[in-house]
Copies of this chain bind each other. A is one copy, B any other.
Amino acid sequence: MAETDQASAQHAFDRAVALTRRGENAFEGRTSDDFWNFTGPFGGATAAALLNAVMMHEKRIGTPVAMTVNYCAPVAKGAFTITVREVRTNRSTQHWYIELSQPAEGVSITATAVFAARRETWSHFPGEMPKAAPPESLPKLPTRGLMEWMQYYDFRFAKNMPVPPRPEPADNDLGPALSHVWMRMQPERALDFLSLMAISDTFFGRIFHVRKSMIRIGTISMTTYFHVDADEIAAVGGGYLFGTADANVFNKGYSDQVAAMWSREGKMLATSHQLTYFRA
């Protein structure tokens, strides 16, 4: 009974990134229907599961500072194996190589992660959070009927709210790429490195904002830099984060995305970059 109660009380995100140890450097997970995207699981949840494998590893030191996830192929519904390799451990930094594979699909994700035991230093935050109306004063993005994973996020756009998509893009009516958005999980969940990794992949494809149309896209590679340690992330809690996302270029099938995330109080938590393909 107690176990059942606990399981039902667990947040869907925690179930999505849960892993079972299958060896010294192997973990088993399962794609979550709750976090399903177009043709596979939401990439942010998959990235968080990969990060979780290192977080669970007893040889891990410190907290993540940089992680790059390469999406090589779609992850199929069902079980997957994550293998981790501790490539190098220095006095205060540690480098990991990570792969996700499935028996019938082969390797579909590769990743590298850098962990570090951080310490107090001089600090400086030139990347200031843009001013925005409070989230409570802004409309919540309607997500009914949209992808499953979106049901677990509360998005409130402070700039460049997505417009209803047009059937076809119009080249003579491009929108800006830059958007500002308040975002938190629903139900609320206290921020940790796993959910921060995942939320760094929640920004909509910049091409949707620019072309105002549903274009087929996919993330090829994503890098997230974590700018806070365990104490600082624990202090954030479950409230809204503020995120900005922009793009510099759409050319020959590929586009970039540059994103940043702050706590509601304006503390920079992470920056993230993506390269995405697009079919347009």
Are B70 and A112 interface neighbours, CB within 8 A?
yes
Are A249 and B273 interface neighbours, CB within 8 A?
no
- Closest approach, in angstroms, between the C-beta of A111 and any C-beta of chain B? 8
Q: A interface, by DSSP: helix, strand, loop or mixed?
A: strand
Are B256 and A225 interface neighbours, CB within 8 A?
yes
Are A256 and B273 interface neighbours, CB within 8 A?
no
Nearest chain B residue, comparing its CB with the CB of A124: B250
Given A125-B251, A223-B223, A72 contacting B97 (CB threshold 8 A): no
Which residues of A in the span 251-266 have a Cβ within 8 Å of any Cβ on B? 251-254, 256, 258, 260
Contacts of A227 in B (CB 8 A): 248-249, 251, 254, 256
Listed residue (A73, A120, A177, A225) with the most chain B CB atoms within 10 angstroms of its CB: A225
Query: Which of A3-11, A40-48, A88-96, A191-199 makes up part of the contact surface?
Result: A88-96
Are B110 and A249 interface neighbours, CB within 8 A?
no
Given A97-B97, A253-B121, A273 contacting B273 (CB threshold 8 A): yes
Q: Is A136 an interface residue (CB 8 A)?
A: no
* A88–B72 CA distance with the chains assembled, in angstroms: 7
Copies of this chain, whole number: 2
Are B220 and A66 interface neighbours, CB within 8 A?
yes
Contact of A110 among B95, B125, B268 (CB under 8 A): B95
Per-residue B-contact encoding for A27-54, CB less than 8 Å = 1, 0 else: 0000000000000000000000000000
Contact of A72 among B70, B90, B123, B126 (CB under 8 A): B90
Contacts of A88 in B (CB 8 A): 72-73, 106-108, 110
* A277–B91 CA distance with the chains assembled, in angstroms: 13
Contacts of A118 in B (CB 8 A): 252-254
* A252–B108 CA distance with the chains assembled, in angstroms: 34
Q: Is A148 an interface residue (CB 8 A)?
A: no
Given A73-B88, A248-B271, 19 additional A-B pairs, CB 8 A:
A65-B275, A68-B68, A68-B221, A72-B87, A72-B88, A72-B93, A72-B95, A73-B90, A114-B220, A118-B254, A124-B249, A125-B250, A126-B247, A221-B223, A223-B223, A229-B252, A248-B260, A248-B268, A271-B273
A-B contact pairs, 28 of them (CB 8 A): A65-B220, A66-B221, A70-B112, A72-B90, A73-B88, A73-B90, A87-B99, A87-B110, A88-B110, A93-B220, A110-B112, A121-B252, A121-B278, A121-B279, A122-B169, A126-B176, A126-B247, A126-B248, A127-B248, A127-B249, A223-B273, A225-B275, A227-B251, A228-B251, A248-B260, A248-B268, A249-B271, A273-B273
